Amino acid sequence: MFDVSFAELVVVGIVALVVIGPEKLPAVARTAGYFIGRARRYVERVKHELREEVEFDDLRKLKNSVHEAAHSFESSIRTEINQVQREVTSHSTNSRTKKPHKTEQDTITEHDIQE
């Protein structure tokens, strides 16, 4: 977090010893350590929440793209089904209205039956 060398720590320790005094230095060091620990945990918690939010946002985007692809696929399938149904209906209507052509075999069979 901070880039502090050993020499800088020694200087800070000596200044704290002179300013605070040897009796209060351990209590002040404990309190400072407590607050530094809380600050680190807070920073880690915020980082963790940000990572989760970014992952959640990525998952939301993925879900939306999959949903759009599924909707597009469903739409194209429905279009194809409707087209096939129209063709089947058209052929069915045409076959009902048209009389079949008589073939030579049909003519022979009808002639044999009449005799």
Q: Quick check: is 1 in a domain?
A: no
The structural domain count of the chain equals: 1
Taking the C-alpha atoms of residue 51 and residue 57, their distance in angstroms, rounded to an integer, is 10
pLDDT band at 89 (very low <50, low <70, confident <90, very high): confident
Residue 22 has φ and ψ, to the nearest 5°, of -70, -25
User: What pLDDT score was predicted for residue 68?
Assistant: 95
Q: Quick check: is 83 in a domain?
A: yes
Q: Quick check: is 113 in a domain?
A: no
Taking the C-alpha atoms of residue 88 and residue 109, their distance in angstroms, rounded to an integer, is 31
User: Does 98 score more than 70 pLDDT?
Assistant: no
Q: Quick check: is 71 in a domain?
A: yes
Q: Quick check: is 95 in a domain?
A: no
Mean pLDDT of the 29-55 span: 94
HSE, side-chain direction, 13 A CA sphere, residue 47: 6
Q: Quick check: is 20 in a domain?
A: yes
User: What pLDDT score was predicted for residue 36?
Assistant: 93
Q: Quick check: is 6 in a domain?
A: no
pLDDT band at 44 (very low <50, low <70, confident <90, very high): very high
- pTM of this prediction exceeds 0.75: no
Residue 102 CB partners (closer than 8 Å, separation 6+):
110
Q: Quick check: is 78 in a domain?
A: yes
Which residues span the domain enclosing 49? 12-89
